[in-house]
Each structure stands twice: as C-alpha cells, then as structure tokens.
Amino acid sequence: MPPWAAWATILACVAAAVESARPESVTAEQVQAGADIYERNCSPCHGPRMLDPQSAFNLRNFPPDQHDRFVTSVTRGKNQMPPWGDMLKPDDVEALWAYVLNGEK
Amino acid sequence: MKLAISAAAVLLIANAASAQTLDDLKNDGKNTDNVLTYGMGYYQQRYSRLKEIDKTTVKRLVPVWNLSLDNQWGEQAQPIVYNGVMYVTNARATVAIDVGTGKQIWRTPVDWLPETTRVVCCGVSNKGAAIFNGKIYRTTLDAHVVALDAKTGKEVWKQKAAEWKEGYSMTVAPLVAEGVLITGISGAEFGIRGFIDGWDAETGQHLWRRHTIPARGEKGNETWPQDNNAWEIGGGSTWITGSYDPDLGLTYWGIGNPAPWASQSRPGDNLYTSSVLALRPKTGEIEWHYQFTPNDPYDFDACWELILADMDVAGVKRKVMMQLNRNGFLYVLDRANGGLISAKPFEKVNWASEINPESGRPVETEIGQKLRAGEQVEMWPSTRGGKNWPHAAFNPETGLLYANTMHRGGIYKHLPIKERIVGQRYQFIENRPAPVAAGEAIAHVDAIEPLTGKQRWRTPLFDHPHWSAIVATGSGLLFTGKETGEFIAIDADTGKTLWQFQTGSGINAMPITYTHNGRQYVTVLSGIGGLWWNAAREQLKNVPQGGSVWTFALMPE
C-alpha cells in the first residue's frame, strides 16, 4: 500500500470517529460517562455543569463543528489547561465531547 | 597562641562566609539588611521597625530596579535577602539577584512534566525559599525538596517527598528551625493524606514525617470512621509555612481541609484537619493541637499564617498565636498549650453563631445541617474564606492586625461521593459565587483588634480582593498590591492609599522591606497568577502575565 493510501485509510477512520460523535449518534450512556468525567476533573475550572466557567473556556459555547480541536486541546493541553492524554482514553475524550455537546441541553 | 588566634580568625571568616546561623534566623529583623525567614521573622508578623519611608516621604518612593523573571505562571513568593543578595522563587526557577544593581547573579531552572499541573488545585506557583548555612532551600511543583548552593545556584541535594501522580504537589516555602528543614504538602483536593516532613538541612536525610491524619491505633484516629479508609485519603494539606517560637521550642503549622469536601463518607471530627498542630522541630512530635472546624464540610482550610505575639490579655502578658481563619473567626490561642483565649468573627459568618469559649468548638447554625443533608446553601464566608492565604501583618506597637479580607458568600452544595481515583479530583461539590448586592464591597483592607475582631477602619474594594500579603512598618505604613498591578502604600491609621505604582502585571505575592547601604528598600514580585486570577480571568483580561521583581527606595531630595 503506498503511503498516501495509508493516510487515506487513517483519514477515513478519523472521519468515521467524528461522524460517530455527532450529537444525533451519541448514546445516553456516553453522555453520562462524559458527565462523570467532567464533574470530577473539569468542573473545578470550567464550572459545575458548565455554568460559571470563571477561569476557563465557556464550554457551552464550544463550536460543535470543531471536534478535532476539542480532542487535541484535551489530549495535549492548551494555555493553562494541562494535558490529559495519558489519563483519559480516547473513549473518555469522546464521552466528554458527547457531554459538552449534549449534556446540558 | 599565635596559631590559636589564626585558627579563631579562620573560623570567624568561615562563619561570615557561610553564615545564616540559627541565631541569625532567630534574630531576623534585628539586622535590617537581611530578610531571612518567611514572614520577616519566626513570629511571622510581617512587621519592620524601619521608618525612613513614612507618610510624608512616601511620595518620593520610586523604583530603583526591575528584573524580569521570565515566567508566565504567576509570582507569589516572598524574597529572602542576605548580605546584599536576594533569592526569589517561582514554579519555574530559583533566581539570585544583586540587591544594589538588580542584576541576576544566577538562575537555576525547575522542571516538571506539563501533566503535573493537573494535581495543582489553585495556582501554579511557589511561596519562596529558606536560607541556612550557605544553602537555599525550596520545594517543587512535583513534590521534591531541593537544596542549592547560595553562591552558585548549583544543586547540593534533592529529595522526593511524594509522588505527584498520586495527587501530591508542593508550593510551600520551607522553614528552618533548630537546624531541621521543615516542609509541608498540598493535595487535599485529590484525596491525599497530608503530612509535615523534617529533613537534615545539611545532607537532605529524611528525619521524620508527621502525618496530619493519625494512623489506626494512634491518638486521634478515633475521630475518623473505623469501618472505611476515609482517614487514608482524608486530606489535611500543609501548604503555608509554619511559625516558630524558639523559647518554647515549638513550630506551629496550620492544617488544611479534609477530603473530600463533601463530608458523607467521613463522620467524626476528622483530626487533625482544619486544625493547628504545635510540633517539636527535631522530632515532629505533637505537643498540642486545636481544631477550628470539626468535620469540616465547608473547605475551611486552616493553613493560613499563625502570627505569634506577646500580648496583654486582661492585664496579663500572654504568649499568643493569632489566626484570621478561613471560617470567618479570628482566633487568639495560648501558644504554650493551645488554650482558647478568644474567637470573634472578623467577617460575615452564617455557618456558626459563635465559638463556644469553654469547648472551643463552633456552634453550627442550620447551614451546616442543611449542607450535610445534601441541600444547596448560601454560605458566608464562601469556600474561599473570610480571608484567603494573602498574609496579614501585625504591628506590635499598635497591637493591630492588618489584613486583606473578603466579603463574599457562596452557593454551595455537596454531591454524592464516588470512589477515589488516584491522581484525580476528590471533592464532589457544586460551588458558585453568590450574587453581590448593588453597592456592596466584595473585599476590604481591614485594621482589626485581635481580641474583639472589631475593625478600627476598613477600606472597601469593589473590583477585586487584594491577593497580596501586607507588610507593616514602624512609620505607620502598610505595603500591599492589587491584582490590577498597582503596588500601594496605605496609611495604617486610616486605611487611605497614600502612594501607588503600576508594576505592569498583577500582584499576588508578599512584599518585604529592608535596608541596603543605609537606605530603606521595598521589594515585591509582580506577575499575575494564583486562585483569584483563575476565578476572574475574564475581568482581568487586560492585566498581562509575566513575572518580575520590583525594588523601590526614596528618591534623594
């Protein structure tokens, strides 16, 4: 398989992952799992239930079409936010994304 | 004989070169050229008898130098000054500076993994260094204790106090007492079991560890449930440097809140959380304890500075300890035995009606009952306290405390407690600021009578609380700083601001004053960071980050 083909496969997988995390396809379990992770690890800065994010990005305003930006920020850290990639598995980050988009609607 | 004299001379020279003996530390403040201890003296009064800068001359106070600290994480430290060299710490480096010129002499970086900040609840910072026998001591964010050569900045020894991945971190400035280097720990928000460590200052050898929660079988463990492991993950951080009484041979450390903040899993008083411990510096043995907030469900961390003074109480000279506790009460204790002398509210308090003078325990209102029953309450003070860590000053001449206090309630609720996951938050609460009534101040600068809690004066603040320590001088001035960058001098008799200077970033640190070549200097670190910046970043968006040291003196007439 030439390198470009490998990349195409990877991109297709990423696209599928993005697809599966869209609001219409998330499960209640996923949102609840995200809510649990959020409450424990994220709410101290981003505010309880994403209310009063005094210090940090207001996640209720996170652009819903920027899934990859969300995943990268959580995994690698951004500004004052530490990286979480060694602690939260990809499924956890997707659950968080599901919660951010759907959890408090 | 000649030989003996030479040997004595050599000894003297060696002594002068290494210096910062235990006597130097004990007498800190008497030689005004040096600032050798946290709090400007073991008593942590943050008082200097210097008078050159006074209410009249302060208008001629100007910067003599500024040095960048090349740090975005915020500056909270108190500088140490010895023989014309200043030692400054932040989370990223230790820096030595020539006091006369402001030039950097050496800079020793501190490195830690970016993930470390996950276990730092309230601001990536460092509160300062200790100095003893030619070495500079500091703690690191990833929970190590380091000794550096004061001349070169080179590492002499480094010891790991705890594993950051388990929720432990360090920002505390060390204390040297009786030759023992004493350090605390942070991490109650991650379910650690807190402690205080004693180290051999020379070699770094670990001498003792006093856990702030007694183990099974030790006295005090009976105040924790006996049918679960709450005591092993029960918090009790020690993140502010203790004070020390050389005559009584006791060091006093405030102990932080229990974990988790929600209290369902830990019925009982939960010793020694939200308490003060009086310890023997050489062994860590507990002489006495006093608990301010039993079974604390409020985050009423008791780490704040414990100010020591010798004070007239009803006509009798008493050796006292004072604390403006986070829970809104000002405590005066007998520091020989921990007996309660008085406890009066210094801010609005609705969680307790009083501190019972006989039992020393708070008389809780229905707020505590509702909170423990899972209801949402409006609590005064909020979890941030009637005062947060920015340290107060005490002027032994006026007998008054000067403090940056806070006037804010919180909308607060416990959540169901889940299993602890190592290295993750362990709090289980919802915590939001209560709305502020129109025209009501959110904070003050206060002059407070220790035994009554009454304000002699109070200056309201409407934009941001001051998140800087205060220094009081013999000339009736107070120095402190604002989150918006102004370093200010206040008239200690009226609360009026007499002078200010914009330092270019926010001030959340600890000023000092001292002399250099016969002139009075004032130094403060500027560099926004810490808890209030976290809380108010949107309102502070026009206050840029970036740490630096500012030093001021009077412009000659």
* pLDDT at residue number B154: 98
Q: Report the alpha-carbon distance of residue B221 to residue B237 in Å, rounded.
A: 17
pTM exceeds 0.90, yes or no: yes
Tell whether A52 is within 8 A of chain B (Cβ): yes
- Residues of chain B found within 8 Å of residue A96, distances taken between Cβ atoms: none
Task: Name the residue among B116, B534, B538 with its Cβ closest to that of A45.
Answer: B534
Task: Name the residue among A49, A55, A82 with its Cβ closest to that of B534.
Answer: A55
Task: Name the residue among A41, A52, A77 with its Cβ closest to that of B424.
Answer: A41
Structural element, H or E, at residue B131: strand B130-132
Active site residues of B: 299
* pLDDT at residue number A12: 45
Tell whether B125 is within 8 A of chain A (Cβ): no
Number of domains comprising chain A: 1
Task: Name the residue among A48, A83, A84 with its Cβ closest to that of B432.
Answer: A48
- Residues of chain B found within 8 Å of residue A51, distances taken between Cβ atoms: 432
Reduced 3-state DSSP string for B337-393:
CCCEEEEEECCCCCCEEEECCCCCCEEECHHHHHHHCCCCEEECCCCCCCCCCCCCE
Which carries the bigger pLDDT value, residue B462 or residue A5? B462
- Residues of chain B found within 8 Å of residue A56, distances taken between Cβ atoms: 537
Task: Look at B424 and A80 and tell me if their CB atoms are within 8 Å.
Answer: no
**From the CA of A10, how many Å to the nearest CA of chain B?**
28
- Residues of chain A found within 8 Å of residue B424, distances taken between Cβ atoms: 40-41, 87
Residue B332's domain spans which residues? 19-554
pLDDT tens by residue, chain B, 557 residues: 444 444 444 444 444 445 578 898 988 888 999 999 999 999 999 999 999 999 999 999 999 999 999 999 999 999 999 999 999 999 999 999 999 999 999 999 999 999 999 999 888 999 999 999 999 999 999 999 999 999 999 999 999 999 999 999 999 999 999 999 999 999 999 999 999 999 999 999 999 999 999 999 999 999 999 999 999 999 999 999 999 999 999 999 999 999 999 999 999 999 999 999 999 999 999 999 999 999 999 999 999 999 999 999 999 999 999 999 999 999 999 999 999 999 999 999 999 999 999 999 999 999 999 999 999 999 999 999 999 999 999 999 999 999 999 999 999 999 999 999 999 999 999 998 999 999 999 999 999 999 999 999 999 999 999 999 999 999 999 999 999 999 999 999 999 999 999 999 999 999 999 999 999 999 999 999 998 988 888 889 899 999 999 999 999 87
* pLDDT at residue number A24: 53
* pLDDT at residue number B374: 96
Pick among A37, A38, A55, A104 to test the B interface (most B CBs inside 10 A): A55
Query: Residue B113 sits in a domain of what CATH number?
Result: 2.140.10.10
Query: Is residue B5 one of the residues assigned to a domain?
Result: no
Tell whether A87 is within 8 A of chain B (Cβ): yes
Q: How many CB pairs under 8 A join A and B?
A: 52
Q: How many CB atoms lie within 10 A of CB A78?
A: 14
Query: Is residue B12 one of the residues assigned to a domain?
Result: no
Tell whether A80 is within 8 A of chain B (Cβ): yes
- Residues of chain B found within 8 Å of residue A52, distances taken between Cβ atoms: 432-433
Number of domains comprising chain B: 1
Confidence of residue A26 (pLDDT cuts 50, 70, 90): confident
Task: Name the residue among A48, A54, A86 with its Cβ closest to that of B430.
Answer: A48
User: DSSP characters for chain A?
Assistant: --HHHHHHHHHHHHHHHHHHTSGGG--HHHHHHHHHHIIIIIHHHH-GGG---SSS--GGG--TT-HHHHHHHHHH-BTTBPP-TTTS-HHHHHHHHHHHHHTT-
Task: Look at A54 and B537 and tell me if their CB atoms are within 8 Å.
Answer: yes
Pick among A40, A45, A84, A104 to test the B interface (most B CBs inside 10 A): A40
Task: Look at B432 and A47 and tell me if their CB atoms are within 8 Å.
Answer: yes
Tell whether B545 is within 8 A of chain A (Cβ): no
Angle of helix A67-76 relative to helix A90-102, nearest 10 degrees?
130
Query: Residue A63 sits in a domain of what CATH number?
Result: 1.10.760.10
Q: Report the alpha-carbon distance of residue B309 to residue B298 in Å, rounded.
A: 29
Tell whether A86 is within 8 A of chain B (Cβ): yes
Task: Look at A40 and B421 and tell me if their CB atoms are within 8 Å.
Answer: yes
* pLDDT at residue number B19: 58
Query: Is residue B529 one of the residues assigned to a domain?
Result: yes
* pLDDT at residue number B6: 46
> Checking phi first, is residue B20 left (phi over 0); if not, alpha (psi -120 to 50) or beta?
left
**From the CA of A42, how many Å to the nearest CA of chain B?**
9
Pick among A49, A76, A80 to test the B interface (most B CBs inside 10 A): A80
Task: Look at A39 and B431 and tell me if their CB atoms are within 8 Å.
Answer: no
ipTM: 0.75
Asked if the model's pLDDT at residue A15 lies above 80, the reply is no
Query: Is residue B334 one of the residues assigned to a domain?
Result: yes
Tell whether A82 is within 8 A of chain B (Cβ): yes
Query: Is residue B6 one of the residues assigned to a domain?
Result: no
Average pLDDT of chain A, as a whole number: 80
User: DSSP characters for B176-240?
Assistant: EETTEEEE--B-GGGT-B-EEEEEETTT--EEEEEESSPPTTSTTGGGS-SSS-GGGG-B----S
- Residues of chain B found within 8 Å of residue A83, distances taken between Cβ atoms: 114-115
* pLDDT at residue number A105: 79
Task: Name the residue among A39, A48, A55 with its Cβ closest to that of B535.
Answer: A55
Residue A37's domain spans which residues? 3-102
Tell whether B535 is within 8 A of chain A (Cβ): yes
Q: How many CB atoms lie within 10 A of CB B208?
A: 18
